[in-house]
A and B are shown apart, each in its own frame.
Chain A
Amino acid sequence: MNDLAQMTGQEIVAAIKGRHTTAVAVAEAALARIAERNGEVNAFTSVTAARARAEAASVDASLARGEDPGPLAGVPYAVKNLFDVEGEITLAGSIIERDAAPKARDGFAVRGMRAAGGVLVGCLNMDEYAYGFTTENSHYGPCRNPHDPTRIAGGSSGGSGAAVAAGLVPITLGTDTNGSIRVPSSLNGIWGIKPTYGRLSRAGSVPFVFSLDHVGPFARNVADLACAYEAMQGHDPEDPAQARRPADPVSALLSHAFGGLRVARLGGHFAANGQPEVHAAADLVARMLGGSDVVTLADAAAARAAAFLITAAEGAQQHLPDLLTRAADFEPLTRDRLLAGALVPAQWVLKAQRIRSHFRAQAAAVFADWDILVAPATPSAATPIGQEWLEVDGGKIPLRPSFGVFTQPISFIGLPVLAAPVQNAAGALPVGVQLIAAPWAEASLFRAAAELERLGICAAPVAPGFA
């Protein structure tokens, strides 16, 4: 049964459509595996067993009628617990939201996964209100890294990363405001994509910072990642920040020969601020994609700081009523981050918005000459739960806000990024590498990711202790 539970999404679809198994059997295997192993990583905060069985039965019935249940037919998946799920309370990692009513319908991304044949098996642990990079959630317990359960799984989509790396499900959904898809991808050694800002609808997910929020999938191979990315697309008038773009099919590109794309390693800010192994991984990936040049985004440090300011102020505004009336119900780490953000002077935020515009133009100039930029995703591999400081460049920096040092400048200007996993990069631990493209050029990222997978440079097997 464990083999069935640990298959990739594409293997599951092939087995179900080939009538070698059924969607119900796959769902039962996934539920059994979650029951057996989730306690070691604390990835799930709820399991939607009844829904999973019903959706799986629907897939099997559809096949029996001779219909095509979709490209994710019978594939179990789970979602960060800030996505609305019909009949479930959307927790967003908080206890405050426990008082809310169960949702009447799924969020847009979940509806897309269901339409593609996916089978939802549960909701996943996260930093409270998505404000963090470590998923050390005191309400629901810390999420643990499948490669070493004494270490963090990253955040804020920590459960989404750990569930995939532990082989509990092949695909999960998460969100990324400053790095919350790319950081867990890196620390858990799996694939993840944060698409261009405005590509995918966020409607039906709890917002953190409206002007910076993205949604996206995680997976253990590029084909699954592509399939989930496609399933999450579609125009949604309920997200005012969504851009009117044509569909962006990428699965068919994965088998194409890689070539014609100009690849460079990002230097400057992205060649410092991290431990040697993360830079070695980025150097390796750039080299294997033919990227021997180094380019810089000169004002990346200011951009990262500006993203931090906008996040603090806008995130605080989102939660100010609860902060004033029931502060004690917030996660202590989150509460003081938000309250400090509520006191940020307007002049700081306005300057940050001007830096955003300036940095966007700076990056656009670089993309006139390059198609893919390569940078580390995190300043280190997964650190022990509870650690507060990180040693970098001969000094100590506060760990929790610093895990976004490489991701924040990029999401700040909405660029699409695919996180590619390099296994055993830091001893037995993996790290991720950011593949960054110009706005709307996700297809180039998927082509590069498929090449790295073909070359064996990047891969995301189930973590050894869970295989």
Chain B
Amino acid sequence: MSISDDFDPLAYVKATAPLIGLSLTPERVAELAAAFALVRRVATPALDFELPADAEAAPIFTP
């Protein structure tokens, strides 16, 4: 699930913000892109982690 080296946080934020109803000025797009780049940086060890195929998700729903 690694992200390719040419990932562009600015373009990603600009493209996905409307999906959640978020409208941003160009200045805010840049600020949010920096915040998203930090999320990606800290998340990298998880994104690069090779999981065993049988690893189930943790949440337990009790009806």
Contact = CB atoms under 8 A, between A and B. Distances in A.
B39 A308 contact: yes
Interface stretch (A73-81, A114-122, A297-305): A297-305
Interface stretch (A23-31, A87-95, A340-348): A340-348
Interface residues of B, number: 31
B11 interface: no
Interface of A: 211, 299, 301-306, 308-309, 312, 320, 323-324, 336-337, 339-344, 347-348, 350-358, 360, 398, 401
Interface string B25-63: 000000110111011011111111101100111110000
A305 B45 contact: yes
A466 B17 CA distance: 48
B45 A356 contact: no
A357 B52 CA distance: 11
Given A340-B36, A343-B16, A299 B49 contact: yes
B59 A302 contact: no
15 contacts: A211-B59, A302-B45, A302-B46, A305-B42, A305-B45, A305-B49, A323-B22, A324-B22, A337-B35, A339-B22, A342-B20, A348-B1, A348-B47, A351-B1, A354-B51
Given A302-B46, A340-B35, 8 more contacts: A308-B39, A324-B21, A339-B32, A353-B58, A354-B51, A357-B55, A358-B51, A398-B41
Given A340-B39, A343-B36, A351-B1, A302 B57 contact: no
B57 A401 contact: no
Given A312-B39, A344-B39, A320 B20 contact: yes
Contact of A348 (B13, B43, B57): B43
B59 A336 contact: no
A211 B60 CA distance: 10
B32 A340 contact: yes
Nearest to B19: A343
A134 B16 CA distance: 30
Contact of B45 (A301, A323, A340, A342): A301
Given A343-B12, A354-B51, A357-B57, A309 B43 contact: yes
Contacts of A320: 20
B59 A347 contact: no
Nearest to B34: A336
Contacts of A308: 39, 42-43, 46
Contact of A342 (B12, B22, B43): B22
A398 B37 CA distance: 12
B53 to A, nearest CB: 10
Contacts of B21: 324
B58 A360 contact: yes
A302 B35 contact: no
Given A343-B36, A351-B1, A351-B51, A401 B56 contact: no
A324 B20 CA distance: 9
Contacts of B13: 343
Contacts of A348: 1, 43, 46-47
A54 to B, nearest CB: 41
A129 B51 CA distance: 32
B49 A355 contact: yes
Nearest to B56: A357
Contact of A351 (B41, B44, B47): B47
